């Protein structure tokens, strides 16, 4: 490296020209960067987590829906209002990227007239053709397929649900939808409140936050780093050099992101901030030592001496930080995390290169320029660090015990950490996005999808009844209010048009005949494949706690697995099972109708009081029996058809007249393949992989650090000793997360690996300077004090510069980045403190067995 150092010092103009060329070439890639915060796109189509989601989206033209909610001051079900809803629905479907639209005016309904069944729109093309409008309104408000799904229970809110194509960027499509709706409302002078919900709209809000953060945080972190460096060096030149160096490195790294066609995500927002904060560390150590050397040497001699002395520790620091970021990349299945790790690693290398090729030539060309600032003189700095050294030397035993105590307490709170991944966790609870989502969740079903995929003979009655059992069990677990989009309810409604009973027919032949009425209907392509061998059940659910969501997903997977093969049991044997299942079905409908004074036990007691018939001759007998039970139910609980429609109640009671009942685990194959997908499943899968990724990442970076430090200090023992301060720092980080209930998510999960990679910098510089003093003839006590008053200063100002740089993220609009920023600030300060207290104390105790004594 001597030839390289000589070239840099002797040929400053050529070296700077090379820096400029690299900057121009690499930074040009910045203009190729694009934004993408769709969680699914963070996984490949071949990944275990993403594969099924991509498949069902393409197979069923399914994607996270765009939900537009309108709240009026009057009843939605007025012709003047319905005309606007229809226009927006039809024009909304014409928007590029929208494949389907569901609204109260466009939804299909099954009608039975004079023994003839008709599948047609709920509202006719001409609203004036409606003969009994009041009757239709009552019908809509009594049906759970409309009330609470498309019309609010108070009748003053409605939704238009638009389905983006899986081939299009959903958040971009959502932007066009919003523009269209806003324009329509304004042009027609409608006094309607509009709420935009659904995942694509959330992605739009996240993208806005990302852009806002980039514009605000990069200048802010640059100013903070500038201020800290200026206080440190009291020189404009010494302040600007590390900052300009790291800005050049950051620009080149972001350019690489553009050239590699990697998207900018919420992870990506942190990259420039992290690189500016971390990357200036190398320049700080070079300039700090340069000011020490130049007092008694010519500029060339001082620069060569600095480069030779600091190269190894700076290189090792960069490599460990590089390793920390790469460990994040290699330990993660998430593309966003991999991209974050890879680009950050590039940034570290660029910062190292430009520290060695930009700072020395500038110092050579402009050797003068130190300016006094404030009352803090070099002598007072010397006194402060001398006092610190004496304190550590005198109280080394108590220092070790203190750190051990903090480590034990941190280890305890580590067990309290919770893992949570949720788009809403990005936003403050008082933000417009959180308020709108909460409003939609309370008024309608929710914004986040849980999808159940099954493959088999969809037109088989056993298949459909098995699906019915699964969806009702899940609905019961979710509180009963949500109503799934499913082929089960469609075939039950079709059967009602013929037999008057809303139930799945007894035979596959009957189901096939019913399919004739909907064959080619656009409304079923999102739930039933064209070859009738695959189907998709979709639940729209509100945001929920991770533990609740996990249990729901786990239950879905368990049910699909248990009912893959079933036993078909005669109704006489299955009486108790039928009663139990019917009780849950009825309660689900009570919950959706906001009838909360009837409990599951009340329904079970009611069913146990009715006559259980062992056989039915035909549908007429079944219908008569169900009507008797339904009328009895209405009178027993004081309900009316306005509270819950007769059709919905009969559907809930329908298993009472099934000829057979389905038990899990048997010899009859129902599903060839099953799976759970949707955003709710995606959140859960990410949460379950975070801990594994954390462990893999930590193991990788620890191995990298031990190997590099063992090579650097030529001793395995010193390699392990160097880890002690940083392991303590990681424990404290996790302890703080557990103590203050900071969730571990896909952003904060990276802290430990970054802490090891970046925080080890302080240990390396302390040990490197210490061994250098020993090798130059000083005894251990002289080397100890001299290391504190020289390198100690660089470590303190470095940690403040890096830590405060991270703390800038507290001003981010994205909540996880705020947590990340504060935790990284604490991590940097604690790692520096441990390197200047715990590490020296351990060195004193272990000096007889360490190589450099």
Q: Which residue has the tokens 């006489």?
A: 572
Look at residue 373 and tell me whether its pLDDT is greater than 60: no
Q: Does 371 fall in a domain?
A: no
692 and 824 in a single domain? The answer is yes
29 and 111 in a single domain? The answer is no
Q: Does 94 fall in a domain?
A: yes
Tell me what percent of the chain is helix, strand and coil, each rounded to the nearest 5. Answer: 65, 10, 25
Q: Quote the longest CA-to-CA distance of the chain.
A: 110
Residue 685 tokens, joined: 């899968």
Question: What does DSSP assign to residue 722?
Answer: T
Please report which helix (H) or strand (E) contains residue 539, including its range: strand 534-541
Residue 155 tokens, joined: 């009748």
**Cα–Cα nearest to 320, from 692, 19, 843, 710:** 710
Look at residue 74 and tell me whether its pLDDT is greater than 70: yes
189 and 221 in a single domain? The answer is no
Q: Does 53 fall in a domain?
A: no
Q: Does 421 fall in a domain?
A: no
Entry pTM: 0.84
810 and 667 in a single domain? The answer is no
263 and 280 in a single domain? The answer is yes
Q: What is the mean pLDDT of residues 288-312?
A: 85
486 and 521 in a single domain? The answer is yes
Please report which helix (H) or strand (E) contains residue 754, including its range: helix 751-775
For residue 376, the model assigns a pLDDT of 47
SS3 125: coil
Q: Which of these three, 197, 212, 228, is where a domain ends?
A: 197
261 and 401 in a single domain? The answer is yes
Look at residue 416 and tell me whether its pLDDT is greater than 60: yes
Q: Does 428 fall in a domain?
A: no
Cβ contacts of residue 103 below 8 Å, gap of 6+?
A: 85, 86, 88, 89, 150, 158, 159, 160, 161
For residue 285, the model assigns a pLDDT of 79
Question: What does DSSP assign to residue 569?
Answer: E
pLDDT band at 637 (very low <50, low <70, confident <90, very high): very high
In the chain, what is the straight-line distance between the N-terminal and C-terminal CA atoms, in Å? 28
Look at residue 780 and tell me whether its pLDDT is greater than 80: no
151 and 174 in a single domain? The answer is yes
CATH code for the domain in which residue 714 is found: 1.20.1640.10
Q: Which residue has the tokens 């080890």?
A: 760
Cβ contacts of residue 794 below 8 Å, gap of 6+?
A: 284, 285, 288, 289, 765
Least trusted range by pLDDT, from 528-537, 583-592, 681-690: 681-690
Using left for φ > 0, alpha for ψ between -120 and 50, and beta otherwise, residue 147 falls in: beta
Cβ contacts of residue 133 below 8 Å, gap of 6+?
A: 79
For residue 13, the model assigns a pLDDT of 94
340 and 292 in a single domain? The answer is yes
186 and 209 in a single domain? The answer is no
Which neighbouring-strand residues pair with 151?
A: 147, 158
Whether 508 contacts 457, CB under 8 Å: yes
Q: Which of these three, 133, 168, 197, is where a domain ends?
A: 197
Q: Does 609 fall in a domain?
A: yes
As a whole number, the mean pLDDT across the chain is 89
Look at residue 691 and tell me whether its pLDDT is greater than 50: yes
Whether 222 contacts 798, CB under 8 Å: no
752 and 831 in a single domain? The answer is yes
Q: Which of these three, 175, 197, 219, is where a domain ends?
A: 197
Q: What is the mean pLDDT of residues 716-734?
A: 88
Q: What is the mean pLDDT of residues 569-577?
A: 94
Give the residue with greater pLDDT, 582 vs 762: 582
Residue 22 tokens, joined: 């690299």
Q: Which residue has the tokens 């006719």?
A: 124
Whether 177 contacts 162, CB under 8 Å: yes
Whether 15 contacts 243, CB under 8 Å: no
For residue 114, the model assigns a pLDDT of 52
833 and 712 in a single domain? The answer is yes
Q: What is the mean pLDDT of residues 38-65?
A: 90
Q: How many Å apart are CA 544 and CA 481, to the nearest integer?
A: 14
For residue 147, the model assigns a pLDDT of 87
Q: What is the pLDDT of residues 156-189, one digit of tens each?
A: 999 999 999 988 888 889 999 999 999 999 999 9
**Cα–Cα nearest to 205, from 438, 437, 549, 545:** 437
Give the residue with greater pLDDT, 168 vs 599: 599
pLDDT band at 481 (very low <50, low <70, confident <90, very high): confident
Look at residue 215 and tell me whether its pLDDT is greater than 70: yes
Look at residue 834 and tell me whether its pLDDT is greater than 70: yes
Q: Does 222 fall in a domain?
A: yes
Look at residue 359 and tell me whether its pLDDT is greater than 70: yes
Note down the domain range covering 74: 65-197
DSSP output for 14-78: HHHHHHHHHHHHHHGGGGG--B---GGGGS-TTSTTTHHHHHHHHHTT--PPEEEEEE-SS-S-S
Q: What is the mean pLDDT of residues 658-686?
A: 95
Look at residue 56 and tell me whether its pLDDT is greater than 90: yes
Look at residue 568 and tell me whether its pLDDT is greater than 80: yes
Q: What is the mean pLDDT of residues 560-585?
A: 96
The tally of domains found in the chain comes to 3
Q: Does 426 fall in a domain?
A: no
């Amino acid at each position: 490296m001597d030839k390289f150092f000589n070239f840099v010092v002797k040929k400053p103009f050529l070296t700077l020209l090379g820096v400029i060329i690299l900057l121009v070439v690499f930074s040009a890639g910045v203009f190729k960067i694009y934004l993408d915060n769709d969680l699914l796109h963070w996984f490949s189509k071949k990944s275990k987590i993403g594969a099924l989601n991509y498949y069902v989206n393409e197979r069923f033209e399914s994607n996270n829906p765009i939900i537009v909610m309108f709240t009026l001051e009057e009843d939605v079900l007025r012709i003047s209002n319905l005309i606007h809803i229809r226009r927006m629905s039809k024009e909304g479907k014409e928007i590029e990227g929208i494949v389907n639209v569901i609204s109260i005016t466009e939804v299909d309904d099954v009608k039975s007239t004079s023994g003839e069944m008709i599948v047609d729109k709920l509202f006719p093309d001409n609203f004036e053709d409606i003969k009994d409008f009041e009757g239709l309104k009552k019908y809509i408000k009594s049906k759970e397929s409309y009330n609470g799904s498309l019309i609010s229970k108070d009748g003053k809110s409605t939704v238009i649900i638009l389905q983006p194509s899986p081939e299009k960027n959903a958040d971009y499509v959502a932007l066009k939808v919003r523009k269209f709706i806003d324009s329509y409302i304004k042009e027609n002078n409608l006094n309607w409140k509009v709420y935009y919900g659904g995942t694509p709209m959330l992605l739009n809000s996240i993208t806005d936050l990302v852009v806002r953060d980039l514009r605000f945080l990069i200048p802010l972190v640059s100013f903070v780093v500038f201020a800290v460096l200026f206080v440190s060096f009291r020189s404009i030149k010494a302040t600007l050099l590390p900052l300009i160096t790291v800005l050049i490195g950051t620009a080149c790294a972001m350019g690489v992101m553009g050239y590699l066609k990697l998207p900018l995500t919420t992870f990506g927002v942190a990259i420039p901030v992290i690189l500016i904060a971390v990357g200036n560390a190398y320049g700080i150590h070079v300039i700090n030592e340069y000011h020490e050397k130049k007092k008694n040497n010519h500029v060339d001699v001082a620069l060569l001496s600095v480069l030779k002395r600091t190269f190894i520790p700076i290189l090792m620091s960069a490599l460990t930080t590089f390793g920390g970021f790469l460990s994040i990349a290699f330990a993660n299945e998430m593309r966003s995390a991999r991209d974050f790790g890879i680009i950050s690693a590039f940034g570290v290398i660029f910062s190292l290169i430009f520290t060695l090729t930009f700072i020395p030539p500038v110092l050579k060309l402009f050797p003068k320029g130190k300016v006094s600032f404030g009352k803090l003189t070099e002598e007072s700095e010397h006194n402060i660090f001398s006092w610190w050294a004496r304190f550590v030397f005198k109280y080394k035993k108590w220092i070790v015990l203190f750190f051990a105590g903090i480590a034990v307490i941190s280890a305890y709170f580590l067990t309290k950490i919770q893992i949570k991944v949720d788009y809403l966790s990005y936003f403050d609870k008082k933000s417009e996005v959180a308020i709108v989502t909460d409003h939609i969740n309370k008024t309608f079903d929710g914004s986040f999808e849980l999808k159940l995929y099954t493959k088999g003979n969809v037109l088989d009655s056993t298949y459909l009844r098995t699906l019915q059992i699964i969806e009702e069990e899940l609905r019961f677990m979710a509180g009963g209010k949500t109503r799934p989009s499913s082929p089960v309810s469609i075939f039950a409604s079709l059967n009602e048009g013929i037999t008057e009973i809303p139930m799945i027919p007894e035979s596959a032949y009957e189901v096939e005949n019913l399919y004739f009425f909907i064959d080619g209907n656009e409304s079923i392509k999102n739930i039933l494949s064209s070859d009738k061998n695959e189907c998709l059940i979709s639940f729209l659910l509100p945001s929920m706690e991770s533990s609740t969501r996990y249990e729901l997903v786990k239950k879905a997977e368990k049910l699909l697995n248990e009912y893959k093969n079933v036993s078909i049991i005669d109704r006489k044997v299955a009486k108790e099972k039928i009663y139990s299942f019917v009780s849950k079905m009825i309660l689900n409908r009570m919950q959706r109708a906001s009838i909360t004074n009837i409990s599951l036990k009340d329904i079970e007691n009611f069913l146990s009081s009715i006559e259980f018939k062992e056989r039915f001759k035909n549908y007429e007998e079944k219908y008569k029996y169900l009507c008797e039970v339904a009328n009895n139910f209405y009178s027993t609980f004081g309900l009316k058809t306005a509270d819950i429609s007769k059709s919905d109640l009969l559907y809930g009671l329908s298993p009472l007249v099934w000829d057979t009942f389905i038990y899990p685990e048997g010899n009859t194959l129902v599903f060839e393949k099953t799976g759970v997908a949707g955003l709710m499943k995606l959140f859960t899968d990410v949460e379950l992989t975070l801990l594994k990724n954390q462990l893999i990442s930590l193991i990788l970076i620890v191995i990298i650090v031990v190997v590099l430090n063992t090579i650097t200090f030529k001793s395995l023992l010193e390699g392990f000793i160097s880890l002690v301060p940083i392991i303590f720092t990681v424990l404290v980080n996790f302890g703080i997360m557990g103590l203050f209930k900071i969730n571990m998510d896909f952003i904060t999960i990276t802290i430990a690996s970054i802490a090891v990679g970046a925080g080890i910098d302080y240990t390396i510089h302390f040990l490197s300077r210490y061994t250098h003093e020993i090798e130059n003839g000083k005894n251990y006590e002289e080397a100890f004090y001299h290391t504190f008053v020289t390198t100690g200063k660089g470590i303190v100002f470095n940690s403040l510069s890096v830590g405060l740089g991270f703390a800038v993220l507290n001003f981010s609009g994205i909540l996880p980045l705020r947590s990340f920023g504060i935790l990284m600030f604490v991590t940097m300060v604690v790692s520096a403190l441990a390197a200047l207290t715990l590490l020296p104390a351990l060195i004193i105790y272990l000096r007889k067995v360490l190589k450099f004594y």
